[in-house]
A and B are shown apart, each in its own frame.
Chain A
Amino acid sequence: MKKLNLFTTTLIALLVFTANIVFAQSAGPSDATSAAPTNPGDAGKIECYGSPISLSGPQDAGGVDYTKYHWYKIDASGTAQLVTAMTGRTYTEASGAKGYYNYQVVTENANGCTSPISDVFKIYVLPQLTVAITTPASSICAVASSATLLTANPTFAAAYPLSYQWTRNGVVIPGATSATYNVTGETSAATVTFGVTVSFSVLGTSCSTTSTQDIIVTPLPTKPLITAN
């Protein structure tokens, strides 16, 4: 039993080693430094951060998948590295940091004949967008005049033009489209959830992120009565 475990362990190690040799898959972008696309031809597709990368190879003239698809990813040095040789024409990969993710594919038919390698297909992954809401007070009094200012703080305010949309308990607050929102007019004691959705758009691809902040509306003390002792 002990011998079997050792064998199994060795086999797994070998398989892992072999997989690493054959499929030197590298996470992250092929090109993290080039400028973001400014024209539609600069990249085949633009993806938001966190969106999976999904690519499709062609089918043969009869509309049938080729026997095998050899997917290559360009590494940081510009070399095409075989990622996988797979059946099925769709290849997916999780995206990482912003940058260009460059791929090529070779198709293989039933005779084992392979196509020329495709041209490079580029996907640009936009930078990650996060936003945090800050407020000087997380509670206000349940009176119309009580107020607090919510400020949306996005991670790259200057990189792209950002749009804002504030919500109150998930309902869009008309006109609340700036980076700040002044909470006021809350007259009923409750916990109110304010949210902000920050978005930007690059060549038709829109990305957004949302953050919320609870504001506690504290009831006012009841009108006091004075009694004689």
Chain B
Amino acid sequence: MCAFRLPPGKTKIYSCILLPVTACFLFSLKNEHISMGVLTSSTQDTTISVCGTSTTLNTVPVAGYSNPSWNDGSTGTSLTVNSSGDYWWQVTGASVVTNGDFSAATTNTLTRGFTSAYTYMTTASPCPGCCCGALSSEGTYSVNTNPHNLHNLFTAFGDHTTGSGNMLIVNGAATANVTVWTQNINILPNTNYVFSTWATSVNPASPAILQFSINGSPLGSTINLSSTLADGVWQYFTTTWNSGSNSGTLPIALVNQNTSSGGNDFAVDDIVFAPVYRQNIHVTFNPIPVLALTSPHTACGVYDLTKTIVGYDATTYNYFFKDSSGNTITLANAEVLSQSGTYTITEQNKVTGCTSLPQQTTITINPNPQKPGIASS
């Protein structure tokens, strides 16, 4: 974990060693922006302390990773936050799913890259007694550029990837826990993965209910296609998974959970299973001290500049003094000021390091008469 304090308006480069020691991150900070350099671990924690009430967290490009997203669901390379708390951003690596966009040949189960408990159909498949097309029967699927090509009651629309490519089109059955799509993928241990897909109904009746699954275990909440969105409006579903001690080849799957006998007709595209790097950031906002001075002041001989500070508190704050030429004055000298002039004072919280805006005060110091002598007269 890295922890550092960031004063406003400062640009610094910090480096820290992460555990387990696999590499070192460089954090480039400018105006409270935080970003990450070389990626070597799937999750990192950082604590930053910010003076003020707002800061912008930034990512930086990470080789092999893309699509930064934030804890609030937003995407992009920056996030402005206004309250203390825990935040994270993550970037996604290359998907390990083969043919997740269904662009590969469809007739060859090897190049197709996935299997299903449902029956694969094509527009040319024999379908005795079918009313409406190749996917007239429940528990069938196909890969095509237009659902309507496979069922005349399926809505015609393009795929998610390009609008003209292939998609997985399914006539779901009324049996739960049946694998609609599965693929064996190679898993790295102790790695965060994102498992996502785009899906849409091809017929408005009984929208599909699906479930992400890894190695036979359900993952995350069910994927419930909208009952209000029109067919062909692609919806994004995602979940995350940490491989822990798992490694090697494991099956990932989309499993049907809809038991309705009518409807349950849907399309799936752009399935992704990819490692993600997540940066956890604990942000603490600290108030900027407000320095108030009383002014002007007239004194005799010497003047204690700290007397101008309202609520002077040397236990909590450091104070910095400068003369009208910008020269720094030590606290000891500030307490016995002997020159008239305009002085600038700033206040810094000893714990947070937050510094107030500089304030000025004018001091007029009149000379004292010299030590007198007495004569008899």
- A interface residues (Cβ-Cβ under 8 A, vs B): 44-45, 53-58, 60, 66, 90, 103-109, 111-119, 121, 123
Contacts and interface: CB of A to CB of B under 8 A. Distances in A.
Contact of B374 (A55, A111, A112): A55
B241 to A, nearest CB: 79
B370 interface: yes
Nearest to B374: A121
B377 A54 contact: yes
A113 B367 contact: yes
Interface string B359-377: 0000000111111111111
A60 B374 contact: no
A57 B374 contact: yes
B368 A116 contact: yes
A66 B370 CA distance: 11
A89 to B, nearest CB: 9
A113 B369 CA distance: 7
Nearest to B301: A113
B369 A66 contact: yes
A129 B301 CA distance: 49
B368 A58 contact: no
Given A111-B300, A112-B300, A114-B300, A56 B369 contact: no
B372 A107 contact: yes
Nearest to A109: B369
Interface of B: 298, 300-301, 366-377
Given A107-B369, A108-B369, A111-B298, 20 more contacts: A45-B376, A54-B377, A55-B374, A55-B375, A56-B375, A58-B375, A66-B369, A104-B374, A105-B374, A106-B372, A109-B366, A109-B368, A114-B300, A115-B368, A115-B369, A116-B371, A118-B372, A118-B374, A119-B371, A119-B373
A112 B298 CA distance: 10
Given A66-B369, A107-B369, A113 B377 contact: no
Contacts of B370: 115-116
A56 B374 contact: yes
A215 to B, nearest CB: 42
Nearest to A123: B376
Contacts of B301: 113
A112 B367 CA distance: 10
16 contacts: A44-B375, A53-B376, A55-B374, A55-B376, A58-B375, A60-B369, A109-B367, A109-B369, A111-B298, A111-B300, A112-B300, A113-B301, A113-B366, A118-B371, A118-B374, A121-B373
Nearest to B299: A113
Nearest to A117: B371
A26 B373 CA distance: 22
Contacts, number: 69
8 pairs of A and B residues whose beta carbons are closest in the complex:
A113-B300, A121-B374, A115-B369, A111-B366, A45-B376, A56-B377, A107-B369, A116-B371
Q: Which of B368, B369, B371 has the most CB of A within 10 A?
A: B369
A54 B374 CA distance: 10
B375 to A, nearest CB: 5
A118 B371 CA distance: 6
Contacts of A117: 371
Given A113-B366, A113-B369, A54 B376 contact: yes
Contact of A44 (B298, B369, B374): B374
Contacts of B366: 109, 111-113
Nearest to A44: B376
Contacts of B367: 109, 113
A117 B376 CA distance: 17
A17 to B, nearest CB: 30
A56 B376 contact: yes
B374 A103 contact: yes
A117 B368 CA distance: 11
Contacts of A107: 369, 372
A116 to B, nearest CB: 4
A111 B340 CA distance: 14
A111 to B, nearest CB: 4
Contacts of B374: 44, 55-57, 103-105, 118-119, 121
Contacts of A105: 372, 374
Nearest to B365: A113
A55 B300 CA distance: 26
A117 B372 CA distance: 7
A64 to B, nearest CB: 11
B369 A114 contact: yes
Contact of B373 (A58, A106, A113): A58
A115 B376 contact: no
Nearest to A61: B370
Contacts of A118: 371-374
Nearest to B377: A56
